[in-house]
Amino acid sequence: MKRKSKQLLVSLVAGLMFGVGLAVSGMTQPGKVVGFLDPLGRWDASLMFVMAGAIAVHFVAYRLVARRGAPLLMPQFSLPTRRDLDIKLLAGAALFGIGWGVGGFCPGPALVSLATGAPTVLAFVVAMLVGTLVTARLDALLTQRANARRRTLVRGNAESPL
């Protein structure tokens, strides 16, 4: 089997496992999600156990895998390296949290729930894709404009007689 085919097969199997995990864990029941996000109401702490189970496995696995120089089927690891906290991260997380509370869905469980054909799920997923695309375009545009302004400022300073 070629390397590329192995990559796709492993990705597919990982996606299947992830999807079954989400469904077994209760994340595909927005009522349970909303129950978890309601600590002052009738709190359902179950979803804390989803996170605990996932982290318990992945925390150990990450440490074992990180000892390797490279993954099995790719030349290198693609892991985030940033450590700074910025307003984009926190504002984005806050917006995501509000949407999570309103809809009871985060991205993974929404995709897993597509099979139900429920109108709310379809509406959520389409809106999520639109929100992602529009934000990506806006972000690129604003970054471009900020860079252009910076260049103008730098050139202005260089040409200044002082």
User: In the window 65-94, what residues touch other proteins (CB under 8 A)?
Assistant: 65, 68, 70-74, 76-80, 82-85, 88-94
Find the shortest distance in angstroms from Cβ 152 to other proteins: 26
What whole-number distance in Å separates Cα of residue 156 and Cα of residue 50? 55
Find the shortest distance in angstroms from Cβ 13 to other proteins: 7
Residue 52 lies near other proteins (rule: CB under 8 A): yes
Cβ-based nearer residue to other proteins, 6 or 149: 6
Cβ-based nearer residue to other proteins, 116 or 147: 116
Find the shortest distance in angstroms from Cβ 80 to other proteins: 7
Maximum C-alpha span of the chain: 69
What whole-number distance in Å separates Cα of residue 53 and Cα of residue 47? 10
x-or-dash string of contact with other proteins, 143-162, rule CB under 8 A: --------------------
DSSP 70: S
Cβ-based nearer residue to other proteins, 9 or 154: 9
Residue 116 lies near other proteins (rule: CB under 8 A): yes
Cβ-based nearer residue to other proteins, 68 or 160: 68
Find the shortest distance in angstroms from Cβ 145 to other proteins: 17
Q: Which amino acid makes up residue 86?
A: D
Residue 110's closest CA among 98, 96, 122?
Answer: 122
Find the shortest distance in angstroms from Cβ 149 to other proteins: 21
What whole-number distance in Å separates Cα of residue 110 and Cα of residue 124? 7
Q: Which amino acid makes up residue 139?
A: D
DSSP assignments along 80-108, one per residue? -------HHHHHHHHHHHHHHHHHS--HH
